[in-house]
Amino acid sequence: MRDVCVLASDKRARLEIAVAVTTEVCREAQRAHSSGTTSTIGLGRLLTATGLMALTSRRLGTTSVQILSRGRIGQLFADSTESGEVRGYSRRPELMYPIIPKERRLERASIGAMVAPGRVSVVRSNAAGEYGQSAAPMANGEIDRDVEAFIAQSEQIPAVVACETLLEADGTVMVAGGVFVRAMPDSELDALYALRDRVIDGRLAELLVSSEDFPTLLSRIAPDAEIVEEEKRIVWKCRCSLERVLGAIELLGVQDLAEIADKKEPTGVDCDFCRTHYEVTAEQVMAIFESKIQARG
């Protein structure tokens, strides 16, 4: 199945439903960070959930979701533009627990023991560049359940969030995807709970593995849903650039800038999100230093 994201609606039960395949996104994330099993699964679920939140929020701006874990994984971070361009990182990309037995690799793996306890923190920006932040306690450290608990608490609406990243025997990503359902004030909650039962506890993993194409997957998840918008995609794309790196260096104090320029050698900066390496020359740092001194008069 190719990557795709579809926004659909169950008009009778009044549910908004988004279903995405994000296999390529999770593969790109794994390649960028050379991540082990735990981070590939955790970050994959978070990238999918964050992209689905952003694509369904119907507002301009970015959505950032941070998993602040007191478990061994430390921190997972993902952000998405309103058009579904996602990126993210794990503070402990090398984690390889649980070891997934070959015969169970097509099943949902539990990573909660590496992630919980902790908090979910969400920052949303709007078109005017203003930020709003809110946070909620983690549910069980499985990422999708945690994001669902956050939405239930912060938006006070029932929701379903189920995301999976399944791995091949060699640890690379086989298939990934997610489901995001929002209730409306007059939704039929029985229909929401029935849909939840079709995707939680590893059933989405079974559907991702066994569905031969996307229409089959969608009809198995939400048989009464009608597609309401043209197809979208969640894509892995970082927004870093040398200009942004220089912009970040400009924020340093003159003392720090002087010390860096004084070394007379290039400064290496790696993007946290995509691991792209940037080199800033001593001359570039000196130019920023001088323009700051001049601006002071």
Query: In angstroms, what is the minimal distance from the CB of 238 to Zn ion?
Result: 3
Is residue 77 close enough to count as binding Zn ion by CB under 5 A?
A: no
- Longest CA–CA span in the chain (Å) reads 69
Number of chain positions touching Zn ion (CB under 5 A): 6
Is residue 18 close enough to count as binding Zn ion by CB under 5 A?
A: no
Is residue 240 close enough to count as binding Zn ion by CB under 5 A?
A: yes
For Zn ion, which is the closer residue by CB, 204 or 238? 238
Is residue 273 close enough to count as binding Zn ion by CB under 5 A?
A: yes
The residue type at 235: V
For Zn ion, which is the closer residue by CB, 78 or 238? 238
Span interacting with Zn ion, options 59-67, 143-151, 178-186, 233-241, rule CB under 5 A: 233-241
What span, in angstroms and rounded, lies between the C-alpha atoms of 296 and 288?
13
Q: Assign 56 to helix, strand or coil.
A: helix
Is residue 5 close enough to count as binding Zn ion by CB under 5 A?
A: no
Residue 287 makes CB contacts below 8 A (sequence gap 6+) with none
Per-residue x/- track, 276-295, Zn ion (CB under 5 A): x-------------------
Query: In angstroms, what is the minimal distance from the CB of 48 to Zn ion?
Result: 19
Is residue 238 close enough to count as binding Zn ion by CB under 5 A?
A: yes
Residue 261 makes CB contacts below 8 A (sequence gap 6+) with 282, 285, 286, 289
Instruction: Please tell me what DSSP assigns to residue 139.
Output: S
- 135 CB-side CA count, 13 A: 9
For Zn ion, which is the closer residue by CB, 181 or 274? 274
Is residue 274 close enough to count as binding Zn ion by CB under 5 A?
A: yes
What span, in angstroms and rounded, lies between the C-alpha atoms of 71 and 144?
16
Residue 123 host element (H or E): strand 118-125
Span interacting with Zn ion, options 135-143, 243-251, 266-274, 282-290, rule CB under 5 A: 266-274
> Can you read off the two tokens belonging to residue 90?
């794990």
Q: Which residues bind Zn ion (CB under 5 A)?
A: 238, 240, 271, 273-274, 276
